[in-house]
A and B are shown apart, each in its own frame.
Chain A
Amino acid sequence: MNGFPGGVRLRMLLRSFTIQGSWNYETLIGAGFAYTILPALRHLYGKEGDALEKSVERHEELFNSHPYFVTVAVGAVSRLEQMGADPAVVVRFKTALRGSLGSMGDRLIWSAWRPMSLLIGLVLLLAGAAWWLAVAVFLVVYNALHLAVRVKGLQLGTEAGFDIGRVLKESPLQLVIDAASRFASFLVGVAVVLAAAPIYQDRGAALLVGTAIVLGAFLGTRSRRVMIAILAGVAALALAFGVMGYGA
């Protein structure tokens, strides 16, 4: 059990929402990390003094992680500080942790949970639901996991300390990633059909839209550029025609 009072943990949790506030190309979220862990450092080393300033400086060094999973690192590192771990060991521990936390967050949040939550909102909108319902459902579903990761991450970190690697390995993250990705893929199919539904009776339009769907599925993440190019090309032609006095 960790010995940080509830107020200290709450302040660290609230500060974690701003961890990327001073994102920069030299220390990445290093300053944000130091800002977030500061309540724990003040609790351990006092409100001012050399010991506090030295510990703050140590934590201002380069650090990066997924912004939600970073609470795991903040919790674990504050635990190490509390145990009086050697500063060099703490630095090595942070270095080891940042890559795996970043990768976890990218795979779970950016590549699975966020697309899934967004697709739920978009499917609702395409199915004719009220705009506010689609927006609200997206925000609630997405932030349920977001907030859970922040809160649980800090709790696990402060409790596990050095042992956090084992705790993370035993977590059911991969199961959640797989389930969210499968459901999101299912929703992609629903969304594509609902988006294309208005033109199914027009053969020419259906052919065009069908081609766009195949192109999108084939090109994957490269589709964005191709679609922008197509849209810009047609718009440029339409405007040129308009300027010359043709068309509507």
Chain B
Amino acid sequence: MPLEPSTFLILVLLGGIVAVDGTSFGQFMISRPFVAASLAGLVVGDPVSGATLGLMLEAFHLTVLPVGAAKYPEGGPAAVAGAGIYASTASAPSALVLTILVVLLLEYLGGETVRYLRQTNIGLVTVDHRPQLRARDLEKRHWLAMALDFARGCLLVALGMVVIALASRHLFPYWGFGEDLPQMMLIGILAGLLASTVSLLGSRFWFALAGATVAVAFLVLQA
């Protein structure tokens, strides 16, 4: 189902908001793929599909750390673009696999645009590469940098949605392995990525094992 222009516009603005939340403003974590995709799903009328895509994307992001000047993929705007299209079209597991792959590519593109913006900001907040702005100029340019970041997020989501919509129309129908394999793959990858998080937490495997035992007990009791 094609998106209404107003829905497209809301998603683009949401992209700008999650882009600035990522670094420039607040970092309240609405830019996490799990949140951003759910909100984008809500905008197009299917938050559950948005949350499903968000869950998968979040698993890919759990071990990505924004430390110092490190280069890292940007999850928020890409998740909005992905969920905006995925949640408004057919939600077969194969479509989910392919959407995840396109979104992961967009995340790297987003990361590159962040790098470019940070390079651009040098010219904004320094004079001849020396930090010597006057107070009022500093305030104006600081906000201008944030406005650029917002515009960057909007553009990224608009471009991303076009790319994913085209791929979903012209590429996704060629999936040739049926729907059982992608379903199984998604479960395996989700479980594998979640398991990989233990290393980030100091490899406390006994605690993870205790959690697994409790979850098994819960499922057995529920059955």
Contacts and interface: CB of A to CB of B under 8 A. Distances in A.
Given A35-B139, A138-B34, A208 B198 contact: no
Interface in B64-79: 64-69
A232 B194 CA distance: 19
Interface residues of A, number: 106
A181 interface: yes
Interface stretch (A1-9, A18-26, A74-82, A160-168): A18-26
B48 A216 contact: no
B60 interface: yes
A221 B146 contact: no
A26 B174 contact: no
A183 B211 CA distance: 9
B176 A248 contact: yes
Interface in A141-174: 142-143, 146
Interface string B36-66: 0011010000011011000100111011111
Contacts of B197: 115, 119, 184, 188
A24 B125 contact: yes
B125 A240 contact: no
Interface string B194-216: 11111111111101111111111
A139 B26 CA distance: 13
Contact of B214 (A132, A189, A212): A189
A198 B192 contact: no
A239 B192 contact: no
A15 B30 CA distance: 19
Nearest to B115: A25
B118 A139 contact: no
A27 B135 contact: no
Nearest to A223: B196
Interface in A20-45: 20-28, 30-32, 34-35, 38, 41-42
Contacts of A183: 207
Given A27-B126, A230-B189, A53 B134 contact: yes
A238 B198 contact: no
Contact of A185 (B29, B41, B204): B204
A91 interface: no
Summarize A's interface: helix, strand, loop or mixed.
Answer: helix
Contact of B118 (A25, A57, A68): A25
Interface string A221-244: 101100110111011011111111
B29 A21 contact: no
A104 interface: no
B55 A125 contact: yes
Q: Which of B30, B60, B132, B189 has the largest count of A CB atoms less than 10 A from its CB?
A: B189
B90 interface: no
B159 interface: no
Q: Which of A31, A208, A213, A227 has the largest count of B CB atoms less than 10 A from its CB?
A: A31
Given A188-B208, A242-B174, A18 B138 contact: no
A147 to B, nearest CB: 9
Contacts of A187: 211
A84 interface: no
Contact of A248 (B23, B145, B177, B196): B177
Name the 4 nearest CB pairs between A and B, nearest first: A189-B211, A247-B176, A220-B199, A241-B176
Given A110-B67, A220-B196, 11 more contacts: A21-B25, A21-B145, A23-B23, A60-B131, A139-B30, A185-B198, A198-B187, A223-B193, A231-B101, A238-B175, A248-B176
Interface of A: 17-18, 20-28, 30-32, 34-35, 38, 41-42, 48, 52-53, 56-57, 60-62, 64, 67-68, 102, 106, 110-112, 114-115, 117-119, 121-122, 125-126, 131-132, 134-135, 138-139, 142-143, 146, 181-199, 202, 205, 208-209, 211-217, 219-221, 223-224, 227-228, 230-232, 234-235, 237-244, 246-248
12 contacts: A17-B25, A18-B25, A26-B122, A26-B129, A28-B69, A31-B133, A56-B134, A56-B135, A122-B55, A186-B207, A219-B196, A221-B199
